[in-house]
């Protein structure tokens, strides 16, 4: 994907059954960008909605040349929507926001400003959980789950990031071009951060205010989200799991050994009890699991090296003097092979 120098900002908005929010959301984003006089495009992605979301989006796009609708017939999840939206984006900077505007669209411009003024920053995140950020009107149970989830996910990141799960972000076009994304659901936010950090891109957070949804229903599913986040943490930092279990088993084995010595010194050791066998099994098992953790860490390191090489190759392909075999312009397509960009 190469940027279009005529477009400064591409704004991607995943939408699934958002007929109550679609018109107002796009209008607010459009006004925000028009007021600053920046060339822009808005890419709402209809993620297989079953209500009138697509009809409303098509009507908006027919009147506003800044709006390019991406759509497919079957709901696939936020990850799929973002992947198709990112593939269609042409701006120098690519922002993603949610359809209910839980964050003010003005943060799009704040994030773009950071990328323009700080050349060493590649990705900007809006964060309600960092110093200066806040939440307003968010249900306490939902807020507790979110904060706890981000605390757990921080264990998987090589850098301290306060808000890992937020969709409100802005990327340089070349960052997105170098990524090969696979996630279907909300775990795409974790995948993106994991890969950009592994590639050596710099991420910066800015304080933001998170508000509650005003219209429509939330698509949050606690069980699936929790499972995916725990699985991600384990995959990103396998040494945490293997190390904890390995050390625990080894300590239990050593504890049994100490207990056996105590019984032996007191002359009350019963040779028919399987304590010595258990001790050996726990210690050997602990050492074996610790070795698995070491191997998993080495595989994880190798993955990072592969991602860094991918970044270098992507930058090489974007160089002005790079030549490649001619090919048709990349475009998002649905399962039937039909173009997804409708306008």
Q: How confident is the model at residue 52 (pLDDT cuts 50, 70, 90)?
A: very high
In sequence order, the β-bridge partners of residue 94 are 10, 171
Rounded Cα distance, 302 and 70, in Å: 36
C-alpha separations of 100 from 14, 169, 278 in Å: 10, 15, 57
As a whole number, mean pLDDT of residues 161-173 equals 93
Which pLDDT tens digit goes with each residue over 205-226? 999 999 976 666 655 555 666 6
Rounded Cα distance, 133 and 138, in Å: 14
C-alpha separations of 134 from 29, 109, 127, 207, 288 in Å: 21, 19, 8, 8, 45
What local confidence, expressed as pLDDT, does residue 257 receive? 87
pLDDT, averaged across the chain: 83
What local confidence, expressed as pLDDT, does residue 326 receive? 44
| CA 161 from centroid of its chain's CA atoms | 12
Ramachandran bin of 337, using left for φ above 0, alpha for ψ from -120 to 50, beta for the remaining angles? left
What local confidence, expressed as pLDDT, does residue 49 receive? 94
C-alpha separations of 79 from 105, 182, 192, 300, 338 in Å: 21, 8, 10, 23, 20
What local confidence, expressed as pLDDT, does residue 263 receive? 82
As a whole number, mean pLDDT of residues 92-102 equals 94
What local confidence, expressed as pLDDT, does residue 318 receive? 64
Residue 154 has pLDDT above 60, yes or no: yes
Contact 57, 46 (CB under 8 A): yes
Percentage of the chain exceeding pLDDT 90: 42
What local confidence, expressed as pLDDT, does residue 277 receive? 84
What local confidence, expressed as pLDDT, does residue 305 receive? 65
| DSSP notation for 184-247 | -STTHHHHHHHHHHHTT--EEEEE-EEE---SS-----HHHHHHHHHHHHHHH-HHHHHHHHHH
Output phi, psi for 127, to 5 deg: -130, 115
Which pLDDT tens digit goes with each residue over 300-337? 666 666 666 666 666 666 656 555 544 434 444 454 44
What local confidence, expressed as pLDDT, does residue 185 receive? 85
What local confidence, expressed as pLDDT, does residue 143 receive? 77
As a whole number, mean pLDDT of residues 250-278 equals 83
Which pLDDT tens digit goes with each residue over 5-43? 689 999 999 999 999 999 999 999 999 999 887 899 999
Residue 122 has pLDDT above 90, yes or no: yes
Rounded Cα distance, 129 and 90, in Å: 31
Higher confidence at residue 255 or residue 317?
A: 255
Contact 167, 183 (CB under 8 A): no
Asked which of 100-109, 120-129, 260-269, 322-331 is least confident by mean pLDDT, the reply is: 322-331
Burial of 199 (0-12, 13-18, 19+ CB in 10 A): buried
Rounded Cα distance, 40 and 149, in Å: 34
Residues 6 or more apart whose CB falls under 8 angstroms from that of 110 comprise 206
Closest C-alpha to 48, from 19, 16, 22, 21: 16
What local confidence, expressed as pLDDT, does residue 202 receive? 95
Rounded Cα distance, 249 and 244, in Å: 9
In sequence order, the β-bridge partners of residue 70 are 45, 341
Q: How confident is the model at residue 273 (pLDDT cuts 50, 70, 90)?
A: confident
Residue 176 has pLDDT above 70, yes or no: yes
Output phi, psi for 12, to 5 deg: -100, 130
Three-class DSSP labels, 239-301? HHHHHHHHHHHHHHHHHHHHHHHHHHHCCCCCCCCCHHHHHHHHHHHHHHHHHHHHHHHHHHH
As a whole number, mean pLDDT of residues 145-156 equals 76
As a whole number, mean pLDDT of residues 182-189 equals 86
As a whole number, mean pLDDT of residues 105-129 equals 96
What local confidence, expressed as pLDDT, does residue 207 receive? 96
Q: How confident is the model at residue 124 (pLDDT cuts 50, 70, 90)?
A: very high
What local confidence, expressed as pLDDT, does residue 125 receive? 97
Residues 6 or more apart whose CB falls under 8 angstroms from that of 272 comprise none
What local confidence, expressed as pLDDT, does residue 264 receive? 79
Closest C-alpha to 172, from 228, 287, 89, 238: 89
**DSSP character at residue 10:** E
Residue 1 has pLDDT above 50, yes or no: no
In sequence order, the β-bridge partners of residue 12 are 43, 96
**DSSP character at residue 72:** E
């Amino acid at each position: 994907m190469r940027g279009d120098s005529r477009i400064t900002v591409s704004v991607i908005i995943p939408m699934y059954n958002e007929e109550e929010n679609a018109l107002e959301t796009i209008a607010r984003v459009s006004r925000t960008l028009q007021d600053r006089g920046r060339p822009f495009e808005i890419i709402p992605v209809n993620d297989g909605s079953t209500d009138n979301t697509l009809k409303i989006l098509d009507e908006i796009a027919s009147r506003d040349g800044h709006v390019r609708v991406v759509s497919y017939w079957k709901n696939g999840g936020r990850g799929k929507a973002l992947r198709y939206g990112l593939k269609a984006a042409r701006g120098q900077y690519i922002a993603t926001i949610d359809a209910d505007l839980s964050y003010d669209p003005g943060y799009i411009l704040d994030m773009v400003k950071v990328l323009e003024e700080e050349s060493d920053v590649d990705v900007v995140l809006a964060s309600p959980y960092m110093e200066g950020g806040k939440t307003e009107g968010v249900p306490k149970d939902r807020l507790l789950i979110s904060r706890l989830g981000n605390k757990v996910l921080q264990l998987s990141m090589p850098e301290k990031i306060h808000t890992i799960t937020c969709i409100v972000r802005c990327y340089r076009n070349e960052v997105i071009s170098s990524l090969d994304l696979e996630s279907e659901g909300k775990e795409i936010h974790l995948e993106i951060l994991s890969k950009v950090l592994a590639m050596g891109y710099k991420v910066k957070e800015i304080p933001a205010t998170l508000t509650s949804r005003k219209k429509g229903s939330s698509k949050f599913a606690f069980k699936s989200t929790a499972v995916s986040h725990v699985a991600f943490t384990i995959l990103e930092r396998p040494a945490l799991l293997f190390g904890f279990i390995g050390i625990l088993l080894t300590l239990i084995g050593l504890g049994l050994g100490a207990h056996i010595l105590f019984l032996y010194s007191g002359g009350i050791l019963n040779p028919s009890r399987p304590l010595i066998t258990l001790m050996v099994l726990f210690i050997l098992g602990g050492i074996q699991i610790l070795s698995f953790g070491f191997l998993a860490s080495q595989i994880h390191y190798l993955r990072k090296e592969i991602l860094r090489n991918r970044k270098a190759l992507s930058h090489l392909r974007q160089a002005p003097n790079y030549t490649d075999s001619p090919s048709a312009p990349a475009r998002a397509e649905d399962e039937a092979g039909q173009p997804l960009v409708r306008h």
